Amino acid sequence: MARAAELMDFDKALDLYEPVIGLEVHVELSTETKMFSSAPNPAAKGNHGAEPNTQITPVCLGLPGSLPVVNEKAVRYSISLGLALGCEIAPSSRFARKNYFYPDLAKNYQISQYDEPIAFEGLLDVELEDGTVITVPIERAHMEEDAGKLTHVGGATGRIQGAEYSLVDYNRAGVPLVEIVTKPIFGGEHRAPEIAKAYVATIRDIVRALGISEARMERGNLRCDANVSLRPRGQEKLGTRTETKNVNSLRSIERAVRYEIQRQAAILSNGGSIIQETRHWHEDTGVTSAGRPKSDADDYRYFPEPDLLPVEPSAELIEELRAALPEPPAALRRRLKTEWGFGDQEFQDIVNSGLLVEVEETVAAGASATAARKWWMGELSRIANAQQVEPATLATPQQIAEIVALVDGGDLTDRLARQVLEGVVAGEGTPAEIVEARGLKVVSDDGALIAAIDEALASQPDVLAKIRDGKVQAAGAVIGAVMKAMKGQADAARVRELVLERAQA
Amino acid sequence: MSDLTRLSAAELAASLGKGEISSVDATQAHLDRIAAVDGDVHAYLHVNDAALAEASAIDAKRAAGERLPELAGVPVAIKDVLCTIGMPSTAGSRMLEGWVPPYDATVVERMKAAGLIALGKTNMDEFAMGSSTEHSAFGPTRNPWNLERIPGGSGGGSAAAVAAFEAPFALGSDTGGSIRQPAAVTGSVGVKPTYGGVSRYGAIALASSLDQVGPVSRTVLDSALLHDVVGGHDPKDSTSLTGAWPSFAEAARAGRRDGSLKGLRVGVVKQIADGEGFQAGVTQRFRESLELLADAGAEIVEVSAPNFEYAVAAYYLILPAEASSNLAKFDSVRFGLRVTPEGGGTVEQVMAATREAGLGDEVKRRIILGTYALSAGYYDAYYGSAQKVRTLIQQDFSAAFAQADVLVSPAAPTTAFKLGEKLDDPLAMYLNDITTIPANLAGVPGIGLPMGLAPEDGLPVGIQFMAPAREDARLYTVGAALEQLLEDRWGGPLLSQAPDLSASSMLAVSEGAI
ipTM of the prediction greater than 0.90, yes or no: yes
Based on the residue annotation, tell me whether B79 is a catalytic residue of this protein: yes
- Predicted confidence at residue A157, as pLDDT, reads 64
- Statement: residue A292 has pLDDT above 80: no
Asked whether the beta carbons of A101 and B331 are under 8 A apart, the reply is yes
- Statement: residue B297 has pLDDT above 50: yes
A65-79, A327-341, A389-403 — most confident range: A65-79
Catalytic hit among B79, B121, B192, B422: B79
Q: How far apart are CA A274 and CA A233, in angstroms?
A: 17
- Statement: residue A414 has pLDDT above 60: yes
- Predicted confidence at residue A4, as pLDDT, reads 67
Q: What's the pLDDT tens digit per position in B301-357? A: 999 999 999 999 999 999 999 999 999 999 999 999 999 998 888 899 999 999 999
- Predicted confidence at residue A490, as pLDDT, reads 79
Residue B381, chain A, CB below 8 Å: the answer is no
Concatenated DSSP letters of A250-280? HHHHHHHHHHHHHHHHHHHHTT-----EEEE
Q: What band does A476 get if pLDDT is binned at 50, 70 and 90?
A: confident
- Statement: residue A415 has pLDDT above 90: no
- Statement: residue B243 has pLDDT above 60: yes
Task: Report helix, strand or coil for A301.
Answer: coil
Asked whether the beta carbons of A377 and A340 are under 8 A apart, the reply is no
- Statement: residue B503 has pLDDT above 60: no
Average pLDDT over residues A199-215: 94
Contact B82 A65 (CB under 8 A): yes
Q: What band does A333 get if pLDDT is binned at 50, 70 and 90?
A: confident
Q: What band does A200 get if pLDDT is binned at 50, 70 and 90?
A: very high
A295 burial type by CB count under 10 A (0-12 exposed, 13-18 middle, 19+ buried): exposed
- Which residues of chain B make contact with A152, given a CB cutoff of 8 A? none
Contact A101 B329 (CB under 8 A): no
CATH of A446-504, one of 3.40.30.10, 1.20.1740.10, 3.30.360.10, 1.10.10.410: 1.10.10.410
Asked whether the beta carbons of A437 and A429 are under 8 A apart, the reply is yes
Helix (H) or strand (E) holding B250: helix B248-255
Q: What's the pLDDT tens digit per position in A12-25? A: 999 999 999 999 99
Contact B329 A107 (CB under 8 A): yes
Nearest alpha-carbon partner for B178 in B168, B190, B170, B194: B190
Fill in the amino acid letter for A467. Answer: I
Higher per-residue confidence, A489 vs B422: B422
Nearest-CB residue to B328 (from A63, A101, A303): A101
- Statement: residue B508 has pLDDT above 60: no
Q: How far apart are CA A61 and CA A56, in angstroms?
A: 7
Rounded to the nearest integer, the mean pLDDT of chain B is 95
pLDDT more than 70, % of chain A: 97
Average pLDDT over residues A148-176: 86
Residue A163, chain B, CB below 8 Å: the answer is no
Asked whether the beta carbons of B212 and B158 are under 8 A apart, the reply is no
Q: What is the largest CA-CA distance in chain A?
A: 95
Phi-psi region of A246 (alpha: psi -120 to 50; beta: other; left: phi over 0): left
Q: What band does A477 get if pLDDT is binned at 50, 70 and 90?
A: confident
Contact B237 A67 (CB under 8 A): yes
Based on the residue annotation, tell me whether B178 is a catalytic residue of this protein: yes
- Choose, out of A168, A299, A303, A305, the residue to mutate when testing the contact with B (most B CBs < 10 Å): A303
- Residue B216 pairs in a beta bridge with B170, B190
- Statement: residue A2 has pLDDT above 60: no
Concatenated DSSP letters of A88-104? EE-SSB--EEEE---TT
Rounded to the nearest integer, the mean pLDDT of chain A is 91
Domain of B218: which CATH number? 3.90.1300.10
Q: What band does B438 get if pLDDT is binned at 50, 70 and 90?
A: very high
Average pLDDT over residues A150-176: 85
Q: What's the pLDDT tens digit per position in B264-292? A: 999 999 999 988 889 999 999 999 999 99
Nearest alpha-carbon partner for B84 in B73, B63, B100, B95: B100
Count of A-B CB contacts under 8 Å: 101
- Statement: residue B263 has pLDDT above 70: yes
Nearest-10 Cα torsion for B108, B111, B117, B120: -30
Average pLDDT over residues B429-443: 93
Evaluate whether residue B315 is within a structural domain: no
Nearest alpha-carbon partner for A218 in A12, A467, A393: A393
pLDDT more than 90, % of chain B: 92
Based on the residue annotation, tell me whether B154 is a catalytic residue of this protein: yes
Asked whether the beta carbons of B36 and B502 are under 8 A apart, the reply is yes
Residue B386, chain A, CB below 8 Å: the answer is no
- Statement: residue A453 has pLDDT above 50: yes
Domain containing B260 equals 4-309+390-497
- Which residues of chain B make contact with A65, given a CB cutoff of 8 A? 82-83, 89, 101, 103, 105, 201-205
Helices (H), A324-474: 329-340, 344-353, 356-364, 369-375, 381-387, 397-408, 414-425, 431-438, 446-459, 461-468
Question: How many structural domains comprise chain B?
Answer: 1
Asked whether the beta carbons of A25 and A224 are under 8 A apart, the reply is yes
Q: What secondary structure letter does DSSP report for B380?
A: I
- Predicted confidence at residue A297, as pLDDT, reads 57
pLDDT more than 70, % of chain B: 97
Catalytic hit among B154, B173, B217, B240: B154
Q: How far apart are CA A222 and CA A199, in angstroms?
A: 12
From residue A63, how far is each of A59, A159, B98, B329, B431 by CA, in Å? 6, 28, 14, 8, 32
- Which residues of chain A make contact with B358, given a CB cutoff of 8 A? none
Q: What's the pLDDT tens digit per position in A89-103? A: 999 999 999 999 999
Residue A99, chain B, CB below 8 Å: the answer is yes
Residue B80, chain A, CB below 8 Å: the answer is no
Q: For chain A, what are the domain ranges?
A: 10-318, 327-438, 446-504
Contact A99 B335 (CB under 8 A): no
Contact A64 B207 (CB under 8 A): no
Average pLDDT over residues B131-146: 97
Nearest CA in chain A to B323: A306
- Which residues of chain A make contact with B237, given a CB cutoff of 8 A? 67, 69
What pTM does this model have? 0.87
List Cβ neighbours of B39 (8 Å cut-off, separation of 6 or more).
B505
Fill in the amino acid letter for A144. Answer: E
Residue B83, chain A, CB below 8 Å: the answer is yes
Q: What's the pLDDT tens digit per position in A251-274? A: 999 999 999 999 999 999 999 999
Average pLDDT over residues A304-325: 97
Phi-psi region of A234 (alpha: psi -120 to 50; beta: other; left: phi over 0): left
* Closest CA–CA distance from residue A54 to any residue of chain B (Å): 14
From residue B7, how far is each of B12, B29, B72, B162, B431 by CA, in Å? 6, 11, 15, 11, 35
Evaluate whether residue B480 is within a structural domain: yes
- Statement: residue B372 has pLDDT above 80: yes
Q: What band does A330 get if pLDDT is binned at 50, 70 and 90?
A: confident
Average pLDDT over residues A48-77: 97
- Predicted confidence at residue A502, as pLDDT, reads 82
Q: What band does B221 get if pLDDT is binned at 50, 70 and 90?
A: very high
- Statement: residue A51 has pLDDT above 90: yes
- Statement: residue A30 has pLDDT above 60: yes
- Which residues of chain A make contact with B352, given a CB cutoff of 8 A? none
Q: What band does A163 get if pLDDT is binned at 50, 70 and 90?
A: confident
Average pLDDT over residues A207-230: 94
- Statement: residue A444 has pLDDT above 80: no
Q: How far apart are CA A145 and CA B502, in angstroms?
A: 55
Residue B376, chain A, CB below 8 Å: the answer is yes
- Choose, out of B80, B198, B238, the residue to mutate when testing the contact with A (most A CBs < 10 Å): B238
Evaluate whether residue B493 is within a structural domain: yes
Nearest alpha-carbon partner for B171 in B150, B187, B191: B191
The Cβ-side half-sphere exposure at A228, using a 13 Å CA radius, reads: 30
Asked whether the beta carbons of B253 and B479 are under 8 A apart, the reply is no
- Which residues of chain B make contact with A108, given a CB cutoff of 8 A? 328-329, 331
Nearest alpha-carbon partner for B172 in B192, B143, B187, B186: B192
